[in-house]
């Protein structure tokens, strides 16, 4: 099992940020990584993300702008 993120602009266009992770072995590791790097991703043009387990979308789109407003 591999957990990965898809990074997008607000219009759904895929973005490849400089802050590019490897595949994660658990959902918790993937979410912890996002929690630590979301501000950098936002600075790099990522506005929303989707989480996948292998080929299955678990959730998304999740806005990083909402995290910014809440933070």
Please tell me whether the overall predicted TM-score, pTM, comes out greater than 0.85 for this model: yes
Query: Which pLDDT score is estimated for 20?
Result: 82
**Confidence tier at 70 by pLDDT (50, 70, 90):** low
| Residue 20 backbone dihedrals phi, psi, to 5 degrees | -105, 120
pLDDT in tens, 13-44: 999 999 888 899 999 999 999 999 999 999 99
Distance CA 26, CA 69 (A): 27
């Amino acid at each position: 099992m591999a957990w990965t993120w898809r990074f997008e602009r607000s219009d759904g266009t895929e973005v490849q940020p400089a802050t590019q992770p490897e595949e994660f072995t658990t959902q918790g590791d993937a979410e912890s990584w996002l929690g630590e790097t979301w501000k950098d991703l936002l600075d790099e043009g990522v506005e929303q993300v989707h989480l996948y387990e292998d080929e299955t979308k678990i959730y998304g789109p999740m806005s990083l702008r909402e995290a910014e407003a809440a933070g």
